[in-house]
Amino acid sequence: MDDRDNGFCHRGEVSANDVLRRRFKNEIIRAYAKDHFFDVITNSVGLVTAVLAVRYFWWIDPTGAIIIALFTISTWARTVIENVNSLIGRTAPPEFLAKLTFLIWNHHQEIKHIDTVRAYTFGTHFCGG
């Protein structure tokens, strides 16, 4: 799976995640950018629906609250799904294990035999074991 492929967009579509991933390479900065984007969306919807409720109909404000709640639930659910693989310690892909085995084999001339190479996720990185 490509780093930019989040499983939600099809060819030709661009999501906020795609923009953030291309613009910011550091994961911490990307998380802050995502959080600020979320805040801008929810605050804007809250402000617009409150103003519209005062000017037109009372029920626009609670409708905005429901929209914000559904947006919050869907955003955090996607965040959990995106991060669950890095939290559960899944195994590294075969290509990564092959590169790791190559590095181990060529690390020192006294290495004569490699029995098993394992790597699993530890946060967003792989650890050997």
pTM, two decimals, is 0.54
Q: Quote the crossing angle between the two packed helices 27-55 and 16-23, to the nearest 10°.
A: 140
- Coil, helix or strand for 98? helix
Measured in residues, the chain has a length of: 129
Q: pLDDT tens-digit profile of 60-105?
A: 999 999 999 999 999 889 888 877 766 776 777 788 888 888 888 8
In a shared domain, residues 28 and 68: yes
Q: Which of 3-7, 78-82, 113-117 comes out lowest in average pLDDT? A: 3-7
Instruction: For residue 121, count other CB atoms closer than 10 A to its CB.
Output: 16
Q: pLDDT tens-digit profile of 18-35?
A: 665 666 667 777 778 888
Burial 39-66 (b: 16+ CB within 10 A, else e): eeebeebeeebeeebeeeeeebeeebee
In a shared domain, residues 11 and 65: yes
In a shared domain, residues 57 and 119: no
Say if CB 118 and CB 94 are below 8 A apart.
Answer: no
In a shared domain, residues 17 and 59: yes
Q: What does DSSP assign to residue 56?
A: T
Q: What is the pLDDT of residue 48?
A: 93
In a shared domain, residues 25 and 84: yes
In a shared domain, residues 39 and 65: yes
In a shared domain, residues 79 and 124: no
Q: Percent of the chain at pLDDT above 90?
A: 26
Q: What is the pLDDT of residue 68?
A: 93
| 7: pLDDT strictly greater than 50 | no
In a shared domain, residues 3 and 60: yes
